[in-house]
Amino acid sequence: MSAQLSDLARRLAERAELVCRHYLSNGRRVGRYWVVGDVHNTPGRSMFVRLRRRHGGKGAAGKWTDAATAEHGDLLDVIRESCGFVEFRDVLAEARRFLCLPQIEAESKSPLPPVPIGSPESARRLFAMSKPIHGTLAETYLRTRGILGLHELTSLRFHPRCYYRPDNDLPTETWPALIAAVTTLTGIVTGVHRTWLDPSGRSKAPIDTPRRAMGLLLGNAVRFGRAHDVLAAGEGIETMLSLRCALPTLPMASALSANHLAAMLLPSNLRRLYIARDADAAGETAATTLAQRAQAASIEAIQLSPRFDDFNEDLRTLGVDELRAALRIQLAPADVVRFLPSAVALTA
């Protein structure tokens, strides 16, 4: 291991609990360990991260083991897997961002070769250049939309000066932006979705098209949580984040549009699919198409219907407790027990 990697691993280990709270937010502290389902931040108790060295010197802080799979590693591995990075340089950059260390130039002084605008590689570079949303205008924006359940959001990032190219011949502009990673079922970043924001963070930017996606989108999605046997899928990011305020442990995916929702690829081990449809003609058509595809694959499909146009409007109009009450009667009985928490609003 190079001196740079050793130094970063040591610094992360010194802050092991903070690292776990950020990247493994679905876990909890148990004695000297952080306990979570796996390195992808799945809820559970299989993976143990040592938070501090034992008395006597054996067992380094920051080391982890997954009892279910026998996988093991350090906190750099946690950052790589929880963020879905492919390139290790992105892992190092993220570790330095978390530690508030200055970024360093690559050892080869030559710049990265150019890639086509809008390509998957271009999307991966933009996501890697962005930073976690906590304490940023992106967090402010989501909170103004009533979305307070800001947990396990490694698929969302913030860029303070994201390029925006108007549709006409006007010069390129820069605006702060919420950046969402579009990934495959195995977590590979293939695209990003950008929501440009007003500098106050309280609304979208005053531009013609404040939302745009790029990269390879078809079949892929912005994912919140790791799906196993049950998944909720819908169109918009804010729609699915609103549902997560009511159902914080249910894995979810945002396909970004009605057409992409209808074509979204489904995990092979999926048993039940909840489809959060928008209350318009396109939303109904997409939900019906996806439900038919799911049923053809022997997956139970249940449509979730909002009272208003979408679930973000439901959340802002009704509040999280009433949204939970409306969802309770739409969920399968087993999932009410499994995913629906008490009526205390989630404010984390």
Confidence of residue 186 (pLDDT cuts 50, 70, 90): confident
* Residue range 223-281, pLDDT digits in tens: 998 888 999 999 999 999 999 999 999 999 999 999 999 999 999 999 999 999 999 99
Q: How far is CA 287 from the centre of its chain?
A: 22
* Residue range 297-310, pLDDT digits in tens: 999 999 999 999 99
Helices of type H across 41-119: 75-83, 88-98
* Residue range 163-176, pLDDT digits in tens: 999 877 788 899 99
- Residue from 190, 165, 183, 186 nearest 175 by CA: 165
Average pLDDT of every residue of the chain: 89
DSSP assignment of 117-159 equals TTSHHHHHHHHHHSEE-TTSHHHHHHHHTT-----S-TTEEEE
Query: Residue range 286-291: average pLDDT?
Result: 97
SS3 of 282-323: the string is HHHHHHHHHHHHHHHCCCEEEEECCCCCCHHHHHHHHCHHHH
pLDDT at 108 over 90: no
pLDDT at 103 over 80: no
Q: Which two tokens stand for residue 273?
A: 């699919």
d(CA 111, CA 341): 49
Query: Residue range 123-152: average pLDDT?
Result: 90
* Residue range 83-101, pLDDT digits in tens: 877 677 788 888 988 888 8
pLDDT at 129 over 90: no
Q: Global pTM? A: 0.72
For 14, list phi and psi in degrees, rounded to 5: -65, -20
